Amino acid sequence: MRLWIIAGIISSLLFGYADVGQSASIMAPKLQKLSYVNFVKGIAAPSDAQSKIKAIEDAHNAGILTDEEYKSKKAELEATTISEETNKKLQALESAYQSGILTKEEYERKKAELLGQGTVTPSEIKNLTLYSDPIWEFQFQYPPDWKIQVFPNGQGVTLTKDNANINLLLFLGSPEPKQLIGSVATQIQGQWKDYRQIQTVEDKYEGRSVLEFTGVNPKGMKAHAQLSALTSGGMAYVFLMSTPENEFYDALSVWEALLKSFKPIKDGKIYRHEGVLSFWYPADWDVTKQENIIQFTPSNAGKLGDAPTELYFLFTENIGEEKISSPNDPQVLEYLDSQIQSLSSALKRIGEPSPVGSGVLLEWEAKSPEGKVVKARTLTKIANNYLIALVSVGLEELLNSRGTDLRRMFLSLDLSETQSSPAKEQEQAGVTGSSTISSGEVGDQSWGFKFRPPEGWKSQKTNETIILGHDTIAGVIVVLPHTLSNIQQVQQQMQEGLSEENVQLSLDGKIQPLDNFIVGEYAGIVDNEQAKARSIGTLSPYGGGAFIIAISTPDKYSNELSSAAEAIAKKMQYFKVEASDLMQNFAGTWTNYTTNTATKITLAPNGDYFDHYEASYSGNFRDGAGNDTGNWGTANQNQGQGRWTVSGNRQQGKIVIRLKDGGENVLEYKVHEEKGQTYWNEYWFNGQLYGKNIK
């Protein structure tokens, strides 16, 4: 037996790793059956229960027990008494488990349901915290030890604790909740391995259906999940709880508390404009269309005589030929100035543009003849080659009172629709695609994405990146793959900037959303020259994605350069990374043991990489005479994360690991051979012997 296997067994005995559980499972059915039989014998004997109930009744009739004491004790006794019907169900349940029809988790859950010992109810969770969304004002309760993060632009929230998470996502539209659950489940089924539906419970929480399923999620983790949905006020809410299997029942009570306490936004409607855009607006507002302008009128709109004192309208302008990509573009500001001035030459722009979602807010101000403050405001964004402007003009106090609804209307432009029109579906085509990289496309099957360079752009690919250049447009575009799993991680890394040899770029301003991406402007030094850059962060639906960085000198930086980078982001196709036969050979956890250290590397089948290094050293303190005066010990650990690819064959080759901080490690591997025997579960990685953990 190899020494690393012995060390693994010792580790299992000390720390309760899965190997022990598997060894013990040989005896588990006998022990569980014995426990079940004793349980039934102990509390289910009808004669014993009946005699106790009769004794309580006799004590009550004799005046020994009060009415309240009698009812209380009788209820306690009846609660511990299993009926003959329940007893039969328990026996059938035990038989199904022993024959392998039910998993242990399913067995325990159904047994608890039969015995009335279900999971903790929301009322048993103490000190719940109320969350009220700052934009949409929906509410729910959750425990304070769960962390909550808000998605950009009011697209939802996520709650996390350890490895458990609950996501709430917002969409436009009012489909049937059951159809929405089915649609989302179909997408999940295509992304998870070993997807298995456990049950669908109708009208589970406040009339909402719940779908329960298990499988291996895109991160390679065995997960247990529930999915639910609600439509209200023109909005669709999708709830998804996903946890490791062993944490499911701990998180279930939090999930129940959230769903039972959830209160949606007030009533609203969806307006769809010529296949170009869709947005939410308050249900009590009237909408009228005049040529290219959509006008909104609140039910209690202000008037002075017959003249309105507040106006709200939205217009769009096709700017595809102008190659404008930012609502802060001077051309946009000049155009909006002229439009507002056409309403009243007295209105003068005040302040600087301020970000709102993926757009900006601009303000103009004037005084009425009566001395009241009159304001004009525009909420402006650019999407699909259109300039979109939501304009409000009127008395300042009236505009302020409508501010929340106007902000919601504008931010709802960033939400996806649950039921897409043909135009919408065509616009979104290419978000996902096949892993085949055709002629004219660039990408990498291990990165999980590909794209076709914009016309006139030439590309060069390395193991780490793709670099694009143009004959007449100054600057370069760099495409860097990443292994991040959510938009918050993408944003955090973009905020840190780029710091490598000969490259120092720092964020110049704030990270802003743009369509389905996030964007940041940067300034710094590249190869000892001043540089300006724009970085676009993308996220694949399968995890990972790309940073697309347009770089030039400040004087030569152009809209053509940034527009080309945006075109790459919009045309990028994502696909699920499938493991080759060689990757399957190395997929798993490998461990190298020394006397005081243990180094583990995990090569997940989906290309994710994790390492874990632990070290512990100890010794004794001694005095001058050599006597022990005490002992010492120290321990430390660290972890890494990234993506891995392999080239070669089963005997020898290279494993290339790209870390999330941009670094790269190369492991030269060779199978362990000794005395003519080949150990296929042992490899030399850069001269260190690693063994594969066998479950």
CATH of the domain at 585: 2.40.128
Within a domain: residue 343? yes
Lowest mean pLDDT among 4-18, 162-176, 633-647: 4-18
d(CA 140, CA 168): 11
Say which amino acid occupies 542. Y
Which of 88-97, 260-269, 480-489 has the weakest average pLDDT?
88-97
188, 234: one domain? yes
Q: Are residues 147 and 49 in the same domain?
A: no
Range 218-243 average pLDDT: 89
pLDDT confidence band for 497 (50 / 70 / 90): confident
User: Which of residues 13 and 243 earns the better pLDDT score?
Assistant: 243
Domain housing 537: 442-571
pLDDT band for 662, please (50, 70, 90 cuts): low
Pick the closest to residue 581 from 525, 646, 638, 529 (CA basis). 646
Task: Report how far residue 448's alpha carbon sits from residue 338's, in angstroms, rounded to the nearest whole number.
Answer: 46
> Which is nearest to 412 in space by CA: 282, 238, 320, 259?
282
Cα separation, 269 vs 691, whole angstroms: 60
pLDDT of amino acid 48? 54
Q: Please state the rounded mean pLDDT for residues 670-676.
A: 84
428 in a structural domain: no
Taking a C-beta distance cutoff of 8 angstroms, is the pair 636, 627 a contact?
no
Helix H or strand E encompassing 240:
strand 235-244
In a domain, 688, yes or no: yes
What pLDDT does 694 receive? 64
**Is the pLDDT confidence value at 216 over 70?**
yes
Give the count of beta carbons closer than 10 Å to the beta carbon of residue 415.
22
Q: Are residues 92 and 164 in the same domain?
A: no
* pTM given for the model: 0.47
pLDDT at 373 (0 to 100):
92
Based on the fold, state whether residues 12 and 74 are members of the same structural domain. yes
Q: Are residues 392 and 274 in the same domain?
A: yes
Q: Residues 362-371: what's their mean pLDDT? A: 90
579 has a pLDDT exceeding 80: no
**Claim to verify: residue 176 and residue 215 sit in the same structural domain:** yes
List of long-range contacts for 89-94, beta carbons under 8 Å, 24+ apart? 89/114, 90/36, 90/40, 90/114, 90/115, 94/33, 94/36
Asked whether 201 and 208 are in contact (CB, 8 A), the reply is: no
Same domain? For 153 and 243 the reply is: yes
Residue 432 forms part of a structural domain: no
Residue type, 379: L
183 part of a folded domain: yes
Q: Which of 232, 266, 300 is the last residue before a domain boundary?
A: 266
What is the full DSSP assignment across 669-681? EEEEEETTEEEEE
Please give the pLDDT value at position 479.
Answer: 93
Three-class SS state of 104: helix
Q: Which of 264-268, 292-296, 581-585 has the lowest mean pLDDT?
A: 581-585
pLDDT of residue 542: 77
Cα 110 to chain centroid, rounded: 30
What is the residue type of 272? Answer: R
Among the listed ranges 279-293, 449-463, 528-542, which one has the minimum average pLDDT value?
Answer: 279-293
End-to-end CA distance of the chain: 16
DSSP string, 108-167: HHHHHHHTT--SPPGGGS-SPEEEE-TTT--EEEE-TTSEEEEPGGG-EEEEEETTEEEE
Residue 476 confidence class, pLDDT cut points 50, 70, 90: very high
Q: Please, which pLDDT band fits residue 187 given cuts at 50, 70 and 90?
A: confident
Shared-domain flag, residues 140 and 83: no
- CA nearest 594: which of 623, 571, 615, 621? 615
Q: How many domains does the chain have?
A: 5
Contact 582, 655 (CB under 8 A): no
Q: What is the pLDDT of residue 276?
A: 62
Identify the CATH number of the domain in which residue 277 sits: 3.40.1000.10
**What pLDDT does residue 377 have?**
94
CB atoms under 10 Å from CB of 495, counted, come to 12
456 & 511 share domain: yes
Summarize the confidence of residues 260-277 as an average pLDDT: 80
- pLDDT (average), residues 133-160: 87
Collapsing DSSP states into helix, strand and coil, what is residue 497? coil
More confident residue, 152 or 686: 686
Classify 432 as helix, strand or coil: strand
Domain boundary among 206, 234, 266: 266
How far apart CA 601 and CA 582 sit, in angstroms, is: 17
User: What is the average pLDDT value for the chain, to the nearest integer?
Assistant: 77
133 and 250, same domain (yes or no): yes
Residue 473 in 3-state DSSP? Answer: coil
User: Residue 195 and residue 215: Cα distance in Å, rounded?
Assistant: 4
At residue 488, the pLDDT reads: 78
Domain boundary, last residue among 514, 548, 571: 571
- Structure confidence by residue, pLDDT tens digits, 47-103: 455 567 677 777 777 777 787 777 777 766 665 555 566 777 777 877 777 777 777
Mean pLDDT for the stretch of residues 453-465: 87
> pLDDT of 378-424, one tens digit each?
999 987 778 889 999 999 999 999 998 999 889 888 776 554 333 33
Residue 429 lies in a domain: no
Domain co-membership, 94 together with 167: no
Number of C-beta neighbours around residue 354 at 10 A: 9
For 125-143, b/e burial (b = at least 16 CB within 10 A) is eeebeebebebbebebbbb
Q: How far is CA 105 from the centre of its chain?
A: 26
Q: Are residues 253 and 384 in the same domain?
A: no
